[in-house]
Structure 1
Amino acid sequence: MSDQTGLTAGEFLDHADHTLLASDTTAEQLAGFIAGAEALGVKRVCVLPSLLPVEKRGREIVTVVGFPTGAHASEVKAAETRRAVADGADEIDVVVNLGLVRSGDWRAVEADLRAVREACPGLVLKVILETAALSDDEIVAGCRAAEAAGADMVKTSTGFHPAGGASLHAVRLMAQTVGGRLGVKASGGIRSAAVARELWAAGATRFGVSATASILASWDDDERPEAADASY
């Protein structure tokens, strides 16, 4: 786990995946988003694979696979990953198969994720667990399956599941489970500097955020979440 004693605005930008995943994104909106990312100074942008390739302008490109449900055949996820790599993706965020998770078929979960890992050798691979929809035991087992499959990070949420997004409890549990061997990406509902700082202190090492500009604008705001285990 990284030093979680504090988080500056500059560090937040270094650890943020500035995100645009709306399915109705137009070419004009994408161009504005990329220009905005340049103005903000973020290191990475996260966009849908159908929007690739995009001009990098010095930033790394993150994309999603099996998004947003994860209920795709492993072969389809692998093919989507290979296409994303060919289109210039630097990092892959893959959604876990929740049906396999709920069934407790961890060998199948691992095999599904390994198919994606093998399709993007050398790239950063993050596994989206949809932690708001899982029990603690499922979160722990999901983290272990992701690690066994060769993932680099585990991630809380797509931001599209009705159960919700990131929570302090889930981030703490994920960080404890991976023990610094993998990173932890918090995503879903992060809209203020206060929330980002709380998640960082809980063990997050990366943030998936679309409200990047408003988070930066609120950085001097001393307000903290009222409940330590609030869902974001």
Structure 2
Amino acid sequence: MKINKYIDHTILKATATEEDIIDLCKEAKEYDFFSVCVNSGYVSFAAKQLQGSNVKVCSVIGFPLGAMSTEAKVFETQQAIKDGAEEIDMVINIGELKSRNFKKVEEEITAIKKVAGEKVLKVIIETCYLTPQEIVLASEIAVKAKADFVKTSTGFGNDGAKMEDVELMKKAIDGKAKIKASGGIKNLDTALSYIEAGVERIGTSSGVSIVKELKQ
């Protein structure tokens, strides 16, 4: 199995330097990961590092809280694509979901998908803050708004991916989207268990050690 092709090789911490981004991109090329996932301010820099390789650039949007205005998220998406992002991982407005403003949540995802066009849109629902019912609702809304993936976590909440949450998401999307698991996936066993559960992408900063573990 080519586990490397499931991995979005990720660095999103506030302290990430250009040097860190260069290292991330070098590793992504060396291990042939699916993409690198970076904050939007680093998209053009990462795209330059990856020129001539198969590795895509994925940008997070409205990260990590999701509480920005829709207009700000839409602009950030447009700019990221202009800068070379081929995939977009947006954070939903969690507070709006919890306020039961489902139409607003859906309209925001729709607006971002509209500017993303053919680019892959992954919707981060931040499962650690949601009830099981809200996880189902958020996943259904993402599918209605034509998202390509639903994603568990930012990795900046109070918890990351959980198998029971992935199962809820899987039921809710009913094959109409894919699932990305992220947050706390640090070893081969964990990554494989998610892939076996039907997850089609893994967000992790431990991609190198996961691939090395597989080779051993």
Q: What range is the shorter-chain TM-score in?
A: over 0.9
- The structure showing larger relative contact order (alpha-carbon pairs under 8 Å, at least 6 residues apart) is 1
Which amino acid counterpart does residue 112 of structure 1 have in structure 2? E
Per-residue Cα deviation, 1:23-73 (whole angstroms, up to 9, x for no partner): 221111211111111111212111111012122232111010000000010
2:88 pairs, out of 72, 86, 92, with 92
Which amino acid counterpart does residue 164 of structure 2 have in structure 1? H
Alpha carbons 1:194, 1:219 under 8 Å: kept: no
The corresponding residue for 1:173 is: 168
Which amino acid counterpart does residue 115 of structure 1 have in structure 2? A
Alpha carbons 1:172, 1:203 under 8 Å: kept: no
The corresponding residue for 1:187 is: 182
CA separation in 2, counterparts of 1:135 and 1:21? Answer: 26
The corresponding residue for 1:58 is: 54
2:117 pairs, out of 112, 115, 121, with 121
Which amino acid counterpart does residue 34 of structure 1 have in structure 2? C
User: Aligned to 1:191, what secondary structure does the other structure show?
Assistant: coil
What is the total number of aligned residue pairs between the two structures?
211
Alpha carbons 2:122, 2:151 under 8 Å: kept: yes
Which amino acid counterpart does residue 174 of structure 1 have in structure 2? M
Which amino acid counterpart does residue 186 of structure 2 have in structure 1? R
**What TM-score comes out, normalization by structure 2 length?**
0.94
Alpha carbon RMSD of aligned pairs, Å? 1.2
CA separation in 2, counterparts of 1:147 and 1:121? Answer: 15
CA separation in 2, counterparts of 1:217 and 1:14? Answer: 14
The corresponding residue for 1:228 is: none
CA separation in 1, counterparts of 2:96 and 2:174? Answer: 24
The corresponding residue for 1:208 is: 203
Which amino acid counterpart does residue 80 of structure 1 have in structure 2? E
Moved more, 81-90 or 111-120: 111-120
After TM superposition, the structure 1 = structure 2 runs for residues 1-232 of structure 1, keeping only pairs within 5 Å, are: 8=1, 10=2, 12-53=3-44, 54=46, 55=48, 56=50, 57-162=53-158, 164-219=159-214
Which amino acid counterpart does residue 190 of structure 1 have in structure 2? I
Where structure 1 has 5 or more consecutive residues not aligned to the other structure, the ranges are 1-7, 222-232
Which amino acid counterpart does residue 51 of structure 1 have in structure 2? Y
CA separation in 2, counterparts of 1:124 and 1:37? Answer: 19
Alpha carbons 1:96, 1:113 under 8 Å: kept: yes
Q: CA deviation at 1:220?
A: 6.8
Which amino acid counterpart does residue 92 of structure 1 have in structure 2? I
Alpha carbons 1:94, 1:126 under 8 Å: kept: yes
Alpha carbons 1:114, 1:150 under 8 Å: kept: yes
Per-residue Cα deviation, 1:73-107 (whole angstroms, up to 9, x for no partner): 00000000000010000000000101011111111
Where structure 2 has 5 or more consecutive residues not aligned to the other structure, the ranges are none
Which amino acid counterpart does residue 6 of structure 2 have in structure 1? H
CA separation in 1, counterparts of 2:167 and 2:144? Answer: 20
Alpha carbons 2:106, 2:141 under 8 Å: kept: yes
CA separation in 2, counterparts of 1:15 and 1:29? Answer: 22
Alpha carbons 1:100, 1:108 under 8 Å: kept: yes
